[in-house]
Amino acid sequence: MFLGIGMMILTGLSWIITGIVMGRAPKENIIVDSLIFMGACFSVAVGTATGCFSGFPAWSGMLPVIAGCMFLGGIFCGFQLFFMSRAMQIGPNGVVWSLVQSAFAAPFLVGVICFRTPASLWRWLGFGAAVMSVLLIGFLKSSGKSRYGNWKTTAFLSFVMTAILQVLCNMPSYFPESGSVSSVWRSTFCAGGTAAGIFFFYAFRCRLSDFRRNLATTLRRKKAWQLCLLMQSFSLGSSYLLLYPGMDLLADAGAGAIAYPLMVGSCLIGFEVYSVAVLRETRSFLQWLMLLLCLSGVVLLIF
């Protein structure tokens, strides 16, 4: 169990890179949805090659369910990154990140209700603190609007997408058959969903000609490739070696519900240090209170 806890903490720290890239890309005039699509396709290519070399998952009746959960989770992952980046353009990066990561309360609730994960009083208090941190966003002053809308609304949409994503991606760890599906294939299924989600987003909301033009523009940008490779190198490394193996270890120990809280806690602390020390963001009393509630929720959910 302690090995699983350590793996979750390291995974959470690696997530900081994704937050940095999603906040940085718009400042470099890089089209975020095209960058997400690039990264997802890169992940699918690497994952497929690695998976073919290491072996295909053994067939079982649960394989389509596991693959389906990861693919659907990937679709919501694309939407999550899309809305989060929009919110970061006009809102405080650290506060947006904290709100989005508060979605760890969702897989905890599903684990307790659907998979009978033990829930002590401390864990329920932690869940309540996480919910309060989300509700507190309504009292924060908006920093303005843009063509992407109010940052609080956009950040909340990212929060909802993250909650669904985490539930879907955490669910296969509760199935005994998940051991036959390696972390490489799970990551590849998820990345395929992300690419499909961005594509269908354009197909239904915009014209595909716009998608092709934006993608071509992004592919010609050296900076886009640098950010893509930076994000994917950490993402693939943590997914293959830490994320899914760690979640399986915790689920086997009867502590699957604390996987995301552990990752979120380390991620929140690391990203907050980055936001204050590097981005020079300031915090109001309510913003500090929101962060404190979120971190308290993470700590309490571990017990």
Condensed to tens digits (0 to 9), the pLDDT of residues 117-151 reads 777 788 888 878 877 877 776 666 554 444 445 78
**Rounded to the nearest 5 degrees, what angle is found at the Cα of 286, between the Cα atoms of 281 and 292?**
85
d(CA 32, CA 118): 40
Tell me, what's the pLDDT at 144? 47
d(CA 81, CA 152): 15
* Confidence category of residue 217, pLDDT binned at 50, 70, 90: very high
Contacts of residue 166, defined as CB under 8 A and 6 or more positions apart, other chains included, come to 73, 103, 104, 106, 107, 260
d(CA 50, CA 188): 10
Most confident of 118-132, 229-243, 278-292: 229-243
Higher pLDDT, 24 or 71: 71
Handedness of CA 243, 245, 248, 253 (dihedral sign): negative
Question: How many other C-beta atoms can be found within 10 angstroms of the C-beta atom of residue 88?
Answer: 28
Tell me, what's the pLDDT at 148? 46
> Which among 10, 13, 45 has a CA at the least distance from the CA of 228?
45
pTM of the model: 0.78
Tell me, what's the pLDDT at 171? 86
Tell me, what's the pLDDT at 201? 76
Cα 23 to chain centroid, rounded: 14
For the cut 70, the answer to whether the pLDDT of residue 184 exceeds it is: yes
**Rounded to the nearest 5 degrees, what angle is found at the Cα of 230, between the Cα atoms of 9 and 56?**
75
Helix spans in the chain (H): 2-24, 32-54, 63-90, 93-101, 105-115, 121-135, 151-170, 183-205, 208-219, 222-238, 244-252, 259-277, 285-302
Tell me, what's the pLDDT at 33? 85
Tell me, what's the pLDDT at 222? 93
DSSP 261: H
Report, as an integer, the average pLDDT of 191-200.
90
